[in-house]
Amino acid sequence: MSIKENTFGAEITSEDIIDTLGFFDDWEERYKYIIDLGKELPAMDDKKKNEHFLLRGCQSQVWIDHELKDGVLLFEADSDAHIVRGLLGMVLAAYNHKTPEDILAFDIEGYFQQVDLVKHLSPTRGNGLRAMVQKIKDTAAAA
């Protein structure tokens, strides 16, 4: 079963997200935007919501699949929590449709600092976010 392609990383980029989040004055509006971002992620097939694709280290359930196609990594991800789907969207905007080398070279911490994200997440959400990033970096390193 191949992955469901999505526009994150191609049409919705990390730069777009940085720009959009910059328009909002408070974090309540930013959270709403992040949740809306997650609504744009296509739902993962229920057959893939199993132990094989489950990401360890997240408070919510998160599933990630990938495929290497024409030298770039394509990711499909889903979660049972709205805010986490949005965080997945933010991560995929940075990493999806990129070469393994580009993924490993991308300054994800700088990206999160630009949007002032990590300090506005609970410690468990922050750990989950780091687990998502690590899974994608490990996938890129192995590709």
Q: Does residue 86 lie in a domain region?
A: yes
**Structural domain for 35, as ranges:** 14-142
Q: Does residue 2 lie in a domain region?
A: no
Q: pTM (2 decimals)?
A: 0.94
Q: Does residue 58 lie in a domain region?
A: yes
- HEC-encoded secondary structure of the chain: CCCCCCCECCCECHHHHHHHHHHCCCHHHHHHHHHHHHHCCCCCCHHHCCCCCECCCCCCCEEEEEEEECCEEEEEEEECCHHHHHHHHHHHHHHCCECHHHHHHCCHHHHHHHCCCHHHCCHHHHHHHHHHHHHHHHHHHHC
Report residue 1's pLDDT band, with 50, 70 and 90 as the boundaries.
low
Report residue 2's pLDDT band, with 50, 70 and 90 as the boundaries.
confident
Q: Does residue 5 lie in a domain region?
A: no
Report residue 91's pLDDT band, with 50, 70 and 90 as the boundaries.
very high
At 15-68, the pLDDT tens digits run 999 999 999 989 999 999 999 999 999 999 999 999 999 998 878 999 999 999
Count of the separate structural domains present in the chain: 1
**Which residues participate in catalysis according to the annotation?**
58
